[in-house]
Structure 1
Amino acid sequence: MDITPLRVAVIIGSAREGRFGPTVAAWVAAEIGRRRDLEAETVDVAEMGSGTVTKQLGLADAFVVVTPEYNHSFPAPLKATIDDHNAEWVAKPVAFVSYGGLSGGLRAVEHLRPVFAELHAVTVRDTVSFHGGRRCFDAQGRPTDAESVVAAERMLDRLAWWAHALRDARAVRPYAR
């Protein structure tokens, strides 16, 4: 069993001007940074055209997708990133942190689950959602509700379990699609 820290790509799923995603992603990366078993690298869909994104996704053992909800779903640049990097998702776990309006982005998450299933990725059941987006964070970019931190710990525990299991399995036997 490989005990090196798992590489987690924290994906900023929005490319809109004035977006809130970088704040949420920075918080998620900081939560990952508090752990010994995980290390974070931020991937921004706004930088889609660069080869750096492909490399970051390819090296990742797991993913945390940070997504807003636009029109009851997820942003088009996020879909383009997912579709343009088919092999990078295979047999790897994906967790979600969402934000926006009354639903907290949960409709976007529910639309993302079958997309990742089609790519042979495993989605983690536990999520973190922020109902009201910006209002849920203080001026330092931290959630104002302590339950968000508890939810993130639980989600990252599940993500780490799946990432270890799938990394070990891929090392023993390549995943066949």
Structure 2
Amino acid sequence: MIVGMEYTTPQGDFLVFGPFASLPFGLHAEEMLPLVDAAGGVAVAAHPFRPGRAVQEHILSSPDCRLVEAINGRNPATANEQALALVQRRNLVALGGSDAHSLAELGKVATRLRAPVRCREDFVSALRLGLCEPHRMPTAVTSSLLERRPPPAAPYSQPPCVSEEFLPR
């Protein structure tokens, strides 16, 4: 599991992954995006064209905005189409998210990673390098996942992380 947060700015919402414990609340997107980047994290423009919750155009055009939630499970189709067009036009990194507000919505849209991920640093590196793509899950798959009972939890231990293996040499 990779922990992130949805960060609300006056210019729109962002999904933040990486170190964010010291990120102050209430920042404008223009301030928040470079801070997250400098701390070694990534900020993803969340549901950028959702009616009433869109990310402002000048932020989406900024060089600091490089990752976009291109397919969101709660968006109208037109909002996702606009986000996919933006990704194509600006050569941005596209992600997908279910934006689940109920168990039945969980996992309907996901981000497929093209790199092994064992920890947060690996995840952030994969996103920075664009080793990801949005993916719609078949309803049958998400339904069958909800019907399974997980095995009893084993004691948690943090797996080793060597994120440098994904960085260009």
Question: Normalised by the size of structure 1, how large is the TM-score?
Answer: 0.43
More helix by share: 1
Q: Point out which structure has higher relative CO (alpha carbons under 8 A, 6+ apart).
A: 1
